[in-house]
């Protein structure tokens, strides 16, 4: 099967030799989306709420670039620097996803790609035009 690279414009991941995602047939695999702004810098330093909103916006943009959308996400993995924000994640899932909600793994980790990053979200989704 052909691997298709998912690209966004701008693509803050290009300098790291990462794909925003890979589409394989009807499946879309999205790289971890953090609170990176269009300029490549962290949005909302020290502010989990701002970072989470930006990470979800970035996730939506990457999914749409792959021919998918938030309502076609089958699985997400959410990496948090602190489980103190778990309750906020439940509310964010309610805001950004719809039933049936995607399968989810939430993991607390000691560090992300940058010391300022507080959240990162990766996803597997079904492409548009394929049965959901």
Rounded to two decimals, the pTM is 0.93
Q: What is the C-alpha separation between 84 and 101, in angstroms, rounded?
A: 22
Instruction: Give the chain's domains with CATH numbers.
Output: 3-126 (3.30.1330.40)
Look at residues 95, 118, 93 and name the one whose alpha carbon lies nearest to residue 103. Answer: 93
Residue 58: predicted pLDDT: 96
Q: What is the DSSP string of 22-56?
A: EEETTEEEEEEE-SB-TTSSBSSTT-HHHHHHHHH
Residue 16: predicted pLDDT: 83
The answer to whether residue 132 scores a pLDDT higher than 80 is no
């Amino acid at each position: 099967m052909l691997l298709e690279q998912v690209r966004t414009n701008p693509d803050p991941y290009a300098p790291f030799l990462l794909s925003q995602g890979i589409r394989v047939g009807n499946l879309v695999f999205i790289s971890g989306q953090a609170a990176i702004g269009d300029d490549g810098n962290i949005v909302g330093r020290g502010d989990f709420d701002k970072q989470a909103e930006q990470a979800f916006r970035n996730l939506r943009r990457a999914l749409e670039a792959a021919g998918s959308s938030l309502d076609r996400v089958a699985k997400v993995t959410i990496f948090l620097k602190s489980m103190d924000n778990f309750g906020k994640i439940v509310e964010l899932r309610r805001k950004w996803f719809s039933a049936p909600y995607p399968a989810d793994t939430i993991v607390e980790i000691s560090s992300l790609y940058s010391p300022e990053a507080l959240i990162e979200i990766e996803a597997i989704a079904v492409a548009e035009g394929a049965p959901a």
